Amino acid sequence: MEAALWGYPKIVELLLEAGADSSLKDRRGMTAGNLAEESERNDRERHERSIKYLEDPFVKKRHRRLIRALLKHTPAASLSSGVQPNLADLTDAYFYKSLSPGSISLVIPSQGIEIRTQSKTAAVLLRGEAFPLVAAVSGRTSPIRSEFLPPEAGYIRINEGYWGGTENFAVAKDIGFSFESSPYDERGVAGSFNASHAEAQLMCFFVRRNYIFRNIADGHKSGVDDFLQLFMLQERNRQVEIVVSKTPCDSCRALRDCIRERLGINFAFRVLGVR
């Protein structure tokens, strides 16, 4: 519990490997997962127990996020967390009832991820409890200023100009993959249409940002992940799901198969209907 509170993922991992029970509670009813949550209660405890305690918030939040993943702990939903819906605009809004688990949800279609045309495909990367949701929209026309666009509808949004127009080709080259050519390719850039698909962007993003990339030809690691080397600590956890609004094309399935063969990462596509 102390390792969870103070943010030491390696110690938490070693304790779990030694058989520690993550469901045990202290006298206040707190589990190790509770102590790894981002909360004023935990901030106050660290402050009161060590007046001179200092931390790098950016690093320690990552540490605690990883600890929650190791413990398979999901914090209770908070009304103050995430992006709050704008209830002033209820255009086309409706309630949706689900028989299982017996719930009703307010759906506000006007507050979603922006698309330039109705033909665009959207996809969301599900990486497990340690990571926020990441969304992509097919395309390659956004200005290449950064890897990310401003968050939308509660999702982190990757920049299709970066991941759909440049970095995806670098990832493909590293793993020995070529995107299939299309009549819709940009002039002089073979494979650019298929490389810009939302699923391809998310797969390349995952390889670059969540996997300690191995240069297969040279047999060495050529990069680091951005979430505390999660896969170094959880080597068995290489199952990733991509939820997508359209059936993946042959090129995206070929990229998925190549990544599985070369890196051992398994992407599962889940197609959801569009209403």
CA dihedral 160, 162, 163, 169 (to 10 degrees): 130
- Whose structure tokens read 């609004």? 245
Domains recognised in the chain with CATH numbers = 2-70 (1.25.40), 83-111 (no CATH), 122-271 (no CATH)
What would the pLDDT profile of 184-226 be if each residue is shown by its tens digit? 999 999 999 999 999 999 999 998 887 644 443 444 444 444 4
DSSP letter, residue 234: -
Chain position carrying tokens 């650019």: 192
DSSP-based three-state secondary structure for 87: coil
Determine the distance from the C-alpha atom of residue 244 to the mean position of all C-alpha atoms in its chain, rounded to a whole number: 14
Please give the Cα distance from 247 to 205 (Å, whole number).
20
Q: What is the pLDDT along the chain (275 residues), one digit of tens a residue?
A: 899 999 999 899 899 989 999 999 988 889 999 999 988 889 888 888 887 788 888 888 888 888 988 888 877 644 444 455 667 778 888 898 888 667 888 888 777 788 888 889 999 998 876 677 899 999 987 777 788 887 766 678 899 999 998 999 999 999 999 999 999 999 999 999 999 999 999 999 998 887 644 443 444 444 444 444 454 444 445 788 999 999 999 999 999 999 999 988 999 999 998 87
Indicate if the alpha-carbon torsion angle 210, 143, 257, 176 is positive or negative. negative
- Contact between 71 and 36 (Cβ < 8 Å): yes
- What pLDDT, in 10s, does the model give residues 232-245? 444 445 788 999 99
Contact between 110 and 89 under an 8 Å Cβ cutoff? The reply is: yes
pLDDT at 86: 67
- Of 174, 153, 149, 173, nearest to 162 by C-alpha is 149
**How far apart, in whole angstroms, are the C-alpha atoms of residue 263 and residue 256?**
10
Structure tokens at 200: 């391809």
Phi, psi dihedral angles at 209 (to 5 degrees) = -105, -15
CA–CA dist 180, 257 (Å, integer): 14
